[in-house]
A = this chain, B = another copy of it.
Amino acid sequence: MKPVAVRNIQRADSNAIGTFAALGVSTVHEALGRSGLMKPYMRPIYPGAQIAGPAVTVLAQPGDNWMIHVAVELCQKGDVLVVGCTADNTDGMFGELLATALVARGVIGLIIDAGCRDVKPLKEMGFPVWSKAISAKGTVKSTLGAVNIPVVCAGVNVEPGDVVVADDDGVVIIPKKLAVETAAKAQQRKDDEDGKRTRLASGELSLDMYKMREGLAKAGLRYVDKPEDV
């Protein structure tokens, strides 16, 4: 890792980002071929937020938030900050003051593979954070990392400018060159699901709707009437 901060990055298509923001994580993750999802330990610090935006990436040392300070001035309106660490860490590397600085730049949320603190003020400010832990543990500013290089965050490789989508179901990353194509697939999927929901609500069985009965029989599923018949 080289200690470097990249000033200018290419951000993903903004129309695609708008589509992702409306559709949410589960739909987008499916549209991307079931990849790009961060590990499920990444949870929102309060429920209900749903965001999408291009990633500004930070590689931080555990327990050291120096590079987050560096990242602030490299953010633009609508960006999402994504912080990965060089080793597992749950310290509270982010809190109210940094959030205040990010809000002043127009940043709409934070994804951090470490801890977050000041949960109550962050909720009151309406600044959403997805983190690995909640912890008041203070951090130092002593070792360099990097800004806007590719980082692994919660099991996913994130390139600067990739799209981050986050809601109550978790966090998914869409590579920026796949953003437009994935947005179209995700919208299509959403439209399909609307129709299916109506049919299922009326009592139609998914076994019939998806025509699964033949496949189940071929795979060898056997129906019996009573437990004793197993």
Contacts and interface: CB of A to CB of B under 8 A. Distances in A.
B223 A5 contact: yes
A144 to B, nearest CB: 5
A13 interface: no
A98 interface: yes
A118 B215 CA distance: 27
Interface in A138-153: 138, 140-144, 148-150, 152
Given A7-B225, A104-B201, A201-B100, A72 B206 contact: yes
A224 B4 contact: yes
Contacts of A134: 40, 43, 168-170
A220 B8 contact: no
A38 B181 CA distance: 32
Nearest to A9: B227
A225 B90 CA distance: 32
A230 B149 contact: yes
Nearest to A2: B230
A207 B118 contact: no
Interface residues of A, number: 105
A152 B155 contact: yes
A104 B136 contact: no
Contacts of A201: 100, 103-104
Contacts of A229: 6
Given A26-B118, A226-B6, A40 B168 contact: no
A72 B211 CA distance: 14
14 contacts: A1-B35, A4-B223, A5-B222, A6-B225, A6-B229, A7-B224, A25-B117, A25-B136, A46-B47, A50-B120, A97-B193, A135-B169, A136-B170, A144-B219
A108 B170 CA distance: 25
A86 B139 CA distance: 11
A11 interface: no
A214 interface: no
A160 B86 CA distance: 21
